[in-house]
């Protein structure tokens, strides 16, 4: 019986390799080819069989190994030559991960696709430092927005989010941090609590908390860079300073096939 060819678009989680799902591990174990991003923990590739082809297609700010169109074409190229191709993406592929674009490209070409969600850094980063996205009596909702559009401009929804009382989680926003802080100071208050978590859930995680009027100076002082998640709102003040995140040191223990 000939096995059906399929593409699995899956999330690797926020950074700590132990935060991948069990289903994700099983997918890696059966993969013939894995196309992986820059933010994927390298340890996760150890789950793949020795004969599995590993293809780096990472994109980071200012540097691209492949364009998105080229990545789409590579997925199909390998999918018509192998039984199981895994597209491994950091975080969750459907949260600013362009996973749906890849899904549409694959399915339009008659290939079977499967989605395996991952833990988004939008959720994991605040939790890793003890910041609740929601708390009874403090807020009623949270927004997850992009800080930078493809044009390089500040995300339009940030202006709407700033006018609400919701917690705001900003992804890909560090290049716009001064503009974001100024917006929050204007629409909310210069004293609005803010936090930045860099390399969340990894051994190199760093975080700071400040207010809208001081966050830019504090980020520069502490040398906070990318990749990082910005959290805005009253819930930031609920962070307990004694809380530290647990990061796996010996993360990869392959499951039995």
Q: Which pLDDT value is given to residue 200?
A: 95
Q: Which residue has the higher pLDDT, 58 or 227?
A: 227
Q: Is the pLDDT assigned to residue 131 strictly greater than 90? A: yes
Task: Clarify whether 172 is annotated catalytic.
Answer: yes
Q: How far apart are CA 168 and CA 233, in angstroms?
A: 7
Handedness of CA 116, 121, 126, 127 (dihedral sign): positive
For residue 171, the 8-state DSSP code is E
pLDDT at residue number 153: 83
What is the overall mean pLDDT for the chain? 91
Measured CA to CA, the distance from residue 242 to residue 70 in angstroms comes to 46
Q: Is it the case that residue 250 has pLDDT exceeding 50? A: no
| 19 or 249: which leads in pLDDT | 19
User: Parallel, antiparallel, or unpaired: how do β-strands 63-64 and 59-60 relate?
Assistant: antiparallel
Percent of the chain beyond pLDDT 90?
83
- With bands split at pLDDT 50, 70 and 90, how would you rate the model's confidence at 1? very low
Average pLDDT over residues 63-91: 92
C-alpha to C-alpha distance for 183 and 185, rounded to whole angstroms: 5
Statement: residue 133 has pLDDT above 80: yes
Query: Phi first, then psi: what are they for 2, rounded to 5°?
Result: -80, 125
- pLDDT value for 145: 96
Q: How high is the pLDDT of residue 30?
A: 96
Residue closest to 183 by CA, chosen among 197, 196, 164: 164
Q: What is the pLDDT of residue 170?
A: 97
94-130 confidence digits (pLDDT tens): 999 999 999 999 999 999 999 999 999 999 999 999 9
Q: Which of 6, 10, 32, 37 is catalytic?
A: 37
pLDDT at 151: 81
- At residue 253, does pLDDT exceed 70? no
pLDDT band of 194, cuts 50, 70, 90: very high
37 catalytic, yes or no? yes
CA separation for the pair 143, 123 (Å, rounded): 11
Task: Count other Cβ atoms within 10 Å, centred on residue 117.
Answer: 18
Tell me which fold the domain 121-238 belongs to.
Answer: 3.30.950
From CA 18, how far away is CA 249, in angstroms rounded?
Answer: 9
Is it the case that residue 254 has pLDDT exceeding 90? no
- Exposed e or buried b per residue across 131-148, where buried means at least 16 C-beta atoms within 10 angstroms of its C-beta: bbbeeeeebeebbbbbbb
d(CA 228, CA 172): 7
SS3 for 99?
helix
For the chain, what are the domain ranges?
6-116, 121-238
6-116: CATH topology: Cobalt-precorrin-4 Transmethylase; domain 1 (3.40.1010)
Q: How far is CA 73 from the centre of its chain?
A: 23
What is residue 257's predicted lDDT score, i.e. its pLDDT? 41
Catalytic one of 10, 172, 174, 194: 172
Catalytic entry in 59, 64, 135, 206: 59
Catalytic: 174?
Answer: no
Per-residue tokens: 252: 């990869």
- Amino acid 5: pLDDT: 87
pLDDT category at 251 given cuts 50, 70, 90 is: very low
pLDDT classification of 155: cutoffs 50, 70, 90: confident
């Amino acid at each position: 019986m000939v096995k059906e060819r399929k593409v699995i678009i899956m999330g690797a989680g926020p950074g700590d390799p132990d935060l991948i799902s069990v289903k994700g591990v099983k997918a890696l174990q059966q993969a013939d080819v894995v196309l992986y991003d820059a933010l994927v923990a390298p340890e996760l590739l150890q789950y793949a069989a020795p004969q599995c082809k590993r293809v780096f297609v990472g994109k980071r700010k200012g540097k691209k190994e492949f364009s998105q169109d080229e990545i789409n074409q590579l997925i199909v190229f390998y999918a018509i030559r192998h039984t199981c191709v895994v597209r491994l993406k950091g975080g969750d592929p459907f949260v600013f991960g362009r996973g749906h674009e890849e899904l549409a490209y694959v399915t339009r070409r008659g290939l079977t696709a499967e989605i395996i969600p991952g833990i988004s850094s939008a959720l994991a980063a605040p939790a890793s430092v003890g910041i609740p996205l929601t708390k009874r009596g403090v807020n009623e909702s949270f927004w997850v927005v992009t800080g930078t559009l493809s044009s390089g401009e500040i995300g339009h929804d940030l202006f709407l989010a700033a006018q609400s009382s919701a917690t705001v989680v900003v992804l890909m926003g560090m290049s716009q941090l001064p503009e974001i802080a100024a917006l929050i100071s204007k629409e909310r208050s210069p004293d609005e609590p803010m936090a930045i978590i860099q390399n969340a859930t990894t051994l190199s995680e760093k975080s700071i908390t400040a207010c809208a009027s001081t966050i830019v100076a504090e980020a520069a002082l502490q040398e906070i860079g990318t990749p990082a998640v910005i959290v805005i709102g009253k819930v930031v003040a609920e962070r307990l300073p004694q809380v530290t995140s647990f990061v796996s040191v010996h993360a990869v223990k392959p499951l039995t096939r």
